[in-house]
């Protein structure tokens, strides 16, 4: 089972600094001693991660509580800040509607650690970082199925290594060049705003993103208070504090208890005391809190109180930055109305499967499987019983393919797996097949790639899409394995682990199961308690 990130650094210094323990997978770090550092290790002050309470804002959207928009409608609209949806050059095509004319909705929820106001600084600490470049330390992709029957959430660890594309800031036109090599994904926010985080996700996943919602520190305690508390469960008494002062300070008795305000923040950032003390355990606690919040807001009739709705709407709108498609209370309510069609038992929370690269993490083959399920609108809970519809005809590329003998193709070997070494000679063999078929400019790249689960054809720009499709067609590679990517400079065929031998490619049967390493948690699960480390219990 792939573990989530537990290692990190002072993210404001970049990947060159010495590694140290990271904070929560969703970015929840340590206030009041929950530093995320191992005992005896010193780390900079103020490493308190943004949006331990992202779940609160997300749950408000899920339940339609923003329907209080009739209260001070224009005032609430003025509270909401706006930013462009996508600051990158590459666009991902929207999914094709199903037979009923429905399309999925993908919303990226971003948590910023910005200390751009006195209120944010007071909540987030870190005086030395006041006014500095913000980081996207919480990133969750919310996928609502086309038929509105199910909802999936994919969280990405803040220290995932990705390539950030070129982004242009909307306010002053500053151009941020594409990153040289891979950097931590949370740095994307500092490349012009949330639209660059959206562009980074689209480049990595191939998933079309319709909207983003970004939230900051302000309003966290009052929002948590406004919903009247969220029940959480521990299997023993817990006090998240060790002899050296590490821990969030959370103190709860065994059993289920509602938490709100500061105690809710402590729950969301607790690592010391939960299970093995890793960020994987903290992410699990955050997903449990979010699921519980959704159930509370759907079932708690007291939230029909105008005063409580007004307070919650006020705090939520003050904390939001959204794209132009969500820039009014009415638009947010319409979105929430769509989201709340999904029952809790059809909500699935996951964390992007990852593996270590030094002190950082990178997506695994299981992560690509998870992204594919989202792209193809396949329910992560395995309960999607609808009959599969025939694949719709694909839209022809804007630029048709060049003649086969004029089409340059680079062939690379990505056959290595976690259990098997690289299959020798595969790039040469497949390049030879292409030459025999008339692609006389096909050449083998002698370098060996990391594992590629499936054979793919990648291309860097729209004018080469037709060429890439033609290469795929000649070998029997399905069109779904033709991908646009800035990782390549021309049409590139990567021979994957599914084609380790032979000269005829056979596309593997699709496995539509959610990988175990995604740590899926069902939204209706009320039975799970967080396991308490005996070293952090009390009597």
| Integer Cα distance of 480 and 475 in angstroms | 14
* Class of the domain covering 404-495: alpha beta
| Integer Cα distance of 58 and 107 in angstroms | 10
8 Å CB contact between 200 and 162? yes
The pLDDT of 325-352, averaged and rounded, is: 90
The model's pLDDT over 93-135, given as tens digits with 9 standing for 90+, comes to 888 888 888 999 999 998 776 545 444 444 343 444 445 688 8
pLDDT (0 to 100) of residue 61: 57
pLDDT (0 to 100) of residue 381: 94
Residue 419 tokens read as: 């259990």
Q: Give CA angle at 529 (296, 534), nearest 5°.
A: 140
The model's pLDDT over 142-190, given as tens digits with 9 standing for 90+, comes to 999 999 999 999 989 888 999 999 999 998 999 999 999 999 999 999 9
Count, residues in the chain: 539
Q: Cα–chain-centroid distance for residue 143? A: 11
* 496: confidence class by pLDDT, cuts 50, 70, 90: very high
Residue 426 has pLDDT above 70, yes or no: yes
Residue 107 burial class via C-beta count within 10 angstroms: exposed 0-12, middle 13-18, buried 19 and up: buried
Helix (H, G, I), strand (E, B) or coil at 10: coil
| Local structure of residue 88 (DSSP, 8 states) | B
Q: What's this model's pTM, rounded to 2 decimal places?
A: 0.70
Lowest-confidence pick of 40-54, 60-74, 234-248: 40-54
Residue range(s) occupied by CATH 3.30.70.2390 in the chain: 404-495
Percentage above 70 pLDDT, the chain: 76
Helix (H, G, I), strand (E, B) or coil at 274: strand
Residue 381 burial class via C-beta count within 10 angstroms: exposed 0-12, middle 13-18, buried 19 and up: middle
pLDDT (0 to 100) of residue 134: 84
Query: CA distances (Å), 325 to each of 91, 112, 197, 316, in order?
Result: 17, 20, 17, 17
- DSSP strand pairing (492-495 vs 409-413): parallel
Helix (H, G, I), strand (E, B) or coil at 130: coil
Helix (H, G, I), strand (E, B) or coil at 141: strand
Neighbouring residues of 107: CB distance < 8 A, sequence distance ≥ 6: 61, 141, 142, 144, 209, 210, 211, 212, 213, 335
Residue 285 tokens read as: 């606690």
| Integer Cα distance of 481 and 507 in angstroms | 10
The model's pLDDT over 139-149, given as tens digits with 9 standing for 90+, comes to 899 999 999 99
| Integer Cα distance of 306 and 297 in angstroms | 15
Residue 209 has pLDDT above 80, yes or no: yes
The pLDDT of 250-259, averaged and rounded, is: 95
* 493: confidence class by pLDDT, cuts 50, 70, 90: very high
Residue 51 has pLDDT above 50, yes or no: no
pLDDT (0 to 100) of residue 166: 96
Q: Rounded to 5 degrees, what are φ and ψ at 455?
A: -70, 130
8 Å CB contact between 452 and 487? no
* 66: confidence class by pLDDT, cuts 50, 70, 90: very low
Q: Rounded to 5 degrees, what are φ and ψ at 183?
A: -130, 170
Lowest-confidence pick of 267-281, 386-400, 437-451: 386-400
| Integer Cα distance of 388 and 393 in angstroms | 15
Lowest-confidence pick of 207-221, 423-437, 444-458, 486-500: 207-221
The pLDDT of 449-453, averaged and rounded, is: 78
pLDDT (0 to 100) of residue 340: 83
8 Å CB contact between 36 and 137? no
| Integer Cα distance of 246 and 244 in angstroms | 6
| Integer Cα distance of 221 and 31 in angstroms | 14
Residues 38, 14, 54, 149: is their CA dihedral positive or negative? negative
Percentage above 90 pLDDT, the chain: 43
**What is the pLDDT of the chain when averaged over all its residues?**
79
8 Å CB contact between 351 and 345? no
Q: What DSSP assignment string belongs to 300-319?
A: -GGGG-HHHHHHHHHHHHHT
The pLDDT of 237-262, averaged and rounded, is: 91
Superfamily of domain covering 7-375:
LCP protein (3.40.630.190)
Residue range(s) occupied by CATH 3.40.630.190 in the chain: 7-375
Of 354, 431, 426, 338, which is closest to residue 105 (Cα–Cα)? Answer: 338
The model's pLDDT over 23-43, given as tens digits with 9 standing for 90+, comes to 333 333 333 334 333 333 333
Residue 220 tokens read as: 């966290």
| Integer Cα distance of 495 and 425 in angstroms | 11
Q: At what angle do helices 54-63 and 329-339 cross, to 10 degrees?
A: 80
Residue 21 has pLDDT above 70, yes or no: no
The model's pLDDT over 286-337, given as tens digits with 9 standing for 90+, comes to 888 888 888 877 776 444 566 766 777 777 787 789 999 999 988 988 898 8
pLDDT (0 to 100) of residue 225: 67
Residue 122 tokens read as: 């007071």
């Amino acid at each position: 089972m792939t573990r989530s990130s537990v290692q990190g650094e002072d993210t404001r210094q970049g990947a060159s600094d010495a590694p140290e323990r990271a904070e929560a997978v969703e970015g929840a770090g340590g206030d009041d001693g929950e530093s995320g550092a191992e005992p005896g290790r010193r780390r900079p002050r103020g490493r308190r991660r943004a949006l331990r309470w992202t779940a609160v804002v997300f749950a408000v959207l899920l339940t339609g509580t923003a329907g209080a928009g009739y209260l001070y409608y224009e005032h609430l609209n003025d509270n909401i800040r706006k930013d462009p949806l996508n600051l990158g050059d590459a666009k991902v095509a929207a999914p094709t509607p199903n037979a009923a004319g429905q399309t999925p909705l993908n919303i990226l929820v971003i948590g910023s650690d910005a200390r751009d106001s006195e209120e944010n600084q007071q909540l987030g600490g870190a005086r030395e970082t006041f006014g500095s470049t913000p980081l996207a330390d919480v990133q969750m992709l919310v996928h609502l199925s086309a038929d509105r029957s199910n909802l999936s959430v994919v969280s990405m660890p803040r220290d995932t290594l990705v390539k950030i594309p070129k982004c242009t800031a909307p306010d002053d036109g500053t151009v941020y060049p594409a990153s040289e090599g891979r950097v931590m994904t949370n740095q994307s926010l500092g490349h012009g705003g949330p639209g660059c985080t959206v562009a980074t996700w689209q480049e990595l996943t191939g998933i079309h993103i319709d909207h983003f919602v970004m939230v900051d520190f302000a309003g966290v305690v009052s929002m948590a208070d406004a919903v009247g508390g969220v029940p959480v469960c521990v299997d023993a008494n817990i006090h998240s504090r060790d002899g050296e002062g590490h821990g969030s300070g959370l103190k709860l008795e065994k059993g289920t208890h509602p938490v709100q305000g500061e105690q809710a923040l402590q729950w969301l950032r607790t690592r010391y005391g939960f299970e093995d003390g890793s960020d994987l355990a903290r992410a699990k606690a955050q997903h449990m809190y979010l699921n519980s919040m959704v159930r509370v807001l759907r079932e708690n009739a007291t939230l029909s109180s105008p005063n409580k709705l007004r307070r919650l709407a006020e705090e939520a709108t003050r904390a939001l930055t959204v794209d132009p498609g969500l820039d009014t209370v009415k638009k947010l309510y319409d979105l929430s109305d769509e989201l709340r069609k999904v029952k809790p038992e059809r909500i699935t929370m996951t964390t992007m499967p990852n593996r270590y690269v030094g002190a950082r993490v990178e997506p695994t083959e299981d992560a690509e499987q998870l992204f594919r399920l989202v792209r193809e609108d396949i329910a992560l809970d395995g309960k999607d019983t609808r009959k599969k519809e025939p694949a719709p005809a694909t839209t022809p590329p804007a630029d048709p393919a060049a003649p086969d003998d004029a089409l340059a193709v680079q062939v690379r070997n990505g056959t290595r797996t976690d259990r098997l070494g690289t299959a020798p000679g595969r790039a040469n063999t497949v390049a030879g097949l292409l030459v025999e078929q008339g692609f006389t400019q096909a050449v083998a790249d002698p370098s060996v790639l990391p594992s590629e689960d499936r054979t793919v054809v990648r291309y860097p720009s729209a004018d080469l899409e037709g060429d890439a499709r033609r290469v795929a067609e000649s070998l029997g590679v399905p069109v779904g394995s033709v991908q646009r990517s800035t990782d390549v400079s021309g049409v590139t065929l990567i021979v994957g682990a599914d084609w380790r031998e032979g000269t005829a490619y056979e596309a593997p049967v699709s496995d539509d199961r959610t990988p175990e390493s995604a740590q899926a948690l069902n939204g209706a699960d009320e039975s799970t308690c967080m396991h308490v480390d005996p070293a952090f219990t009390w009597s």
